[in-house]
Structure 1
Amino acid sequence: GGYASDLTRTYPVDGSFTPIQRQLYDTVREAQRRAIDACTPGRRYRDVHDVAARAICEGLVEAGLLRGKPESLFERAAHTLFFTHGVGHLIGLDVHDMEEFGDQAGYAPGRTRRPEFGNKYLRLDRDLAPGMAVTIEPGIYLVPAIWQNDAFVEPLADVVNRDAVERLLEQHFGGIRIEETIVVRDAQGPEILSQGLPNDADAVVPLLGTN
């Protein structure tokens, strides 16, 4: 019995971050921080996803992977080439709670999935209420199959720094995800149930030990 939990941490496999790995890790962590802060009663969960997506657009521009103004990139869904899923899901008796009922449970009446790749994989679009438990798990990924598919890449070719992307693909960059389980509260703000496991880059590396 009891309730489920869901959390993710990402570590550099060789025990230390390269500069670009650290920059993108910090981008994901900042996106998560903003999204968690947005988890207030009455807030639409899709808006929480968008808070994270905007932060990721900002970070991708700063890292030189996207070109342009972050808000314009967000409106064009350029982040979905890197942030390929929704920001989280309900959690309760099951890890992905109520998903056997599909969008009937995850989406409020009258709400439907957005059409863009990445955005359409958001599992939850309800207004948050006190006591609701959800995950917040933004990420940045370099998925070779996406970059080999012109249907995904060509509409955004003018804002993508393809040379920088290809360098990361050649390095087998992989991806970064940081996931917390939170509970929506009233006045005191969201409660982070998984905060006992550090997610700060300077804290996670020492946990790896040495070879």
Structure 2
Amino acid sequence: AQLRAAAEGSVAAHIAGMRATRPGGSEAGVAAAMVGELMRRGLGQSYGPIVTVHGEVLHNERQVNPIAAGDLLLADVGGETDEGWAADITRVWPVSGAFSPTQRAIYDIVLASNVAAIQKARSGVRYRHVHETAGRVIVEGLRSLGIFRGDIDGLIERGAAAIFFPHGVGHLLGLDVHDMEDLGDRAGYAPGRSRSTRFGDCYLRLDRDLEPGMAVTIEPGFYQVPGILGDEAYTSAIGSDLDRDVLARYADVRGIRVEDDVLITAGDPDVLTGGVPKDASAIESLMREARG
């Protein structure tokens, strides 16, 4: 019940953020609307809110920028009950109220990755395989746009996913937004399992077989990080199979992440945060309604 209460209040906060967004406003103004909704519902913040037009900067907790038409706003905001039960949601929406064609194309790939990974998150499934599912959908989608060239399996084997998705697909959730991580990999990794040394995969926080009662986040993303794209240490294995001319057409997409909180059951995954729109058309509809 506490986990659901945190999720429900956080859902309301994200909807409030979408409704409060206007060109000419500010990251801080949207963050204030979201945190205010959490407070109105008696919730604290489970972590420092991330509300930014620079979604390519992971864990960017500084809300200092104006927001303008053409920007995508990434909001990673979650509430926490008095007892400490946490929620963790990320959504991305267009400041103008409508995605550009290039923004929509990338957004739909990340959304498809989120949906596929959630469907994979079932009792008995190894969480690493959920992560791999998310990465494969990202690579397949970028291959369909022409950003990647070549065989899908070969691209994945050479680490293509991590160029744009350089983190794990999620983590445990509960009496902390990163539940039990103070215990390190003793909590997140099953006996006999250890972190990969490969870029991207090495940041996977959880590698256990999922069981009923576990709560996890599912949060794939796409980020154009200059420090990755400009460093051959990360891109040389892909080489010319990364078509930078095609990628340049998507310059209005800095960072996108779609994150939900999922309760593992004996049957289908229970998405606790499904009340926040994540289909691009549904987001646009909500924003049109908010603006009259």
Normalised to the residue count of structure 2, the TM-score between the two structures is 0.68
Which of residues 89, 110, 119 is equivalent to 1:7?
Answer: 89
Deviation for aligned residue 1:71: 2.0
CA–CA separation in structure 2 for the residues paired with 1:158 and 1:109: 40
Larger mean CA deviation between 90-99 and 18-27 belongs to: 18-27
Which of residues 268, 277, 280 is equivalent to 1:198?
Answer: 277
CA–CA separation in structure 2 for the residues paired with 1:172 and 1:22: 11
Normalised to the residue count of structure 1, the TM-score between the two structures is 0.93
The unaligned stretches of length 5 or more in structure 1 are none
- 8 Å Cα contact 2:260/2:273 also seen in 1: yes
- 8 Å Cα contact 2:103/2:252 also seen in 1: no
Deviation for aligned residue 1:167: 4.0
What's 1:182 paired with?
A: 262
- 8 Å Cα contact 1:183/1:191 also seen in 2: yes
- Alignment map for 1:154-169 (pairs within 5 Å): 154-168=236-250
What's 1:132 paired with?
A: 214
The unaligned stretches of length 5 or more in structure 2 are 1-82
Q: Counting strand residues as a fraction of each chain, which structure ranks higher?
A: 2
What's 1:110 paired with?
A: 192
What's 1:80 paired with?
A: 162
State the SS of the aligned residue for 1:25: helix
Q: Percent identity?
A: 49
Which of residues 155, 163, 175 is equivalent to 1:93?
Answer: 175
- The higher-RCO structure (CA 8 Å, 6+ apart) is 1
Query: When the two structures are aligned, how many residues end up with a matched partner?
Result: 208
2:61 maps to 1:61: no
State the SS of the aligned residue for 1:176: strand
Which is higher, the Rg of structure 1 or of structure 2?
A: 2
State the SS of the aligned residue for 1:181: strand
CA–CA separation in structure 2 for the residues paired with 1:210 and 1:147: 37
CA–CA separation in structure 1 for the residues paired with 2:135 and 2:253: 20
CA–CA separation in structure 2 for the residues paired with 1:183 and 1:42: 13
What's 2:16 paired with?
A: none
